[in-house]
Structure 1
Amino acid sequence: GAVELVTESRQWPGVGRARRAGVSSFGISGTNAHVIIEQPEAAPVPVAPVAPVGVPVPWVVSGRSERGLSGQAARLASFVRDRGLSPVDVSWSLATTRAALEHRAVVWGSDVDELAAGLATVAEGRSAGVVSAGRRAVLFTGQGSQRVGMGREL
């Protein structure tokens, strides 16, 4: 096909078939990204998302102190019981609408009862089976993992 470099904004008229564009980006440190974008065939019909059943999800709780964390976990456990809430919806709301305060815990579970039991554990100040507060980090090194101990140095 006719391939040319686009150097300024221009109209992209329909051509009777799916339109495609190639994008290449060359980063300073050698990080390169190349992608081909294709126009969808037709606008999809909106479908209501289906919450997965039996899939473990995280519930994140936090507080300004250990006591605040325990209180938040107890309140949340009490709130979710017998309300028919989706564990996925609660997980999403906790992760996207709540403040991330100094003391944190994450409970995992496949249903509200299992998650509420984890919250009760946090409320009691225990952390068995719970990812609790503390200094933790996740390092996505990409191309930067060339030498042993590099993450520890960061």
Structure 2
Amino acid sequence: PAPVEPADGAPSGSEPGVVPLPLSGKSPEALRDQAERLLLTLSEGPGSRPLDLGYSLATTRSAFDHRAVVLATDHADAVRALTAIAAGAPDAAAVVGRTRTGRHAILFSGQGSQRLGMGRGLYGRFPVFAGALDEVVDGLDAELPGQV
């Protein structure tokens, strides 16, 4: 069963194991500069919660074409990965890239993995579901030839 949130809407108190720290900049240099500024912020307040930092970065910053995300499990991970981004170096806890133009798709995964074969059962029993799934698969085949 899913965890039950308190009636007042407050989180249950458990911290996630990994917190994404998103960054963006108008150029690769600007992205590295933002990583440096964030490093300064972390060095001034090592007691800050990664969850609060990730939330603030995701909800209060502009999203530019050059992007990075640090997947921080703790303060040391965040510092190491941000140092790498600032230096233009790779790090296992950081992904750096640039947005691409084109069409987008959103996949809401989850509902169905609770029971093995659930999707197959829905496909066999409900023609509307089967038709919609076939349409999605055809679209993916057209956009990602040889990859699905």
What TM-score bracket applies, with the shorter chain setting the length? 0.5 to 0.7
State the partner residue of 1:59.
Answer: 21
Structure 1 residue 152: deviation in Å? 3.1
Gaps of 5+ in 2: 1-5, 109-132
Query: Greater share of strand residues, 1 or 2?
Result: 1
State the partner residue of 1:146.
Answer: 137
Number of matched pairs: 110
- Aligned match for 1:68, one of 8, 26, 30: 30
Q: Give the letter aligned to residue 152 of structure 1.
A: L
**How far apart, CA to CA, are the structure 1 residues paired with 2:106 and 2:83?**
32
Larger radius of gyration: 1
Q: Give the letter aligned to residue 62 of structure 2.
A: A
Question: CA 1:141/1:59 → structure 2, altered by over 3 Å: closer, same or farther?
Answer: closer
Contact 1:61 1:106 in 2 (8 A): yes
Matched, 1:80 2:42: yes
Contact 2:20 2:70 in 1 (8 A): yes
Question: CA 1:138/1:52 → structure 2, altered by over 3 Å: closer, same or farther?
Answer: farther
Contact 2:65 2:99 in 1 (8 A): no
Report matched runs for 1:10-29 at 5 Å. Answer: none
Q: Give the letter aligned to residue 62 of structure 1.
A: S
Partner deviation per Cα, 1:108-133 (whole Å, 9 max, x = no partner): 11112211211110000112322111
Matched, 1:102 2:65: yes
Query: Greater share of helix residues, 1 or 2?
Result: 2
Q: 3-state DSSP class of the match of 1:81?
A: helix
State the partner residue of 2:88.
Answer: 125
Structure 1 residue 100: deviation in Å? 0.5
Q: 3-state DSSP class of the match of 2:137?
A: coil
CA RMSD of aligned residues (A): 2.8
Gaps of 5+ in 1: 1-42
**How far apart, CA to CA, are the structure 1 residues paired with 2:104 and 2:39?**
28
Contact 1:139 1:151 in 2 (8 A): no
**How far apart, CA to CA, are the structure 1 residues paired with 2:86 and 2:77?**
14
**How far apart, CA to CA, are the structure 2 residues paired with 1:49 and 1:89?**
15
Q: 3-state DSSP class of the match of 2:106?
A: coil
With the length of structure 1 as denominator, give the TM-score of the two structures: 0.60
Query: In percent, how many aligned pairs have the same letter?
Result: 28
Structure 1 residue 50: deviation in Å? 2.2
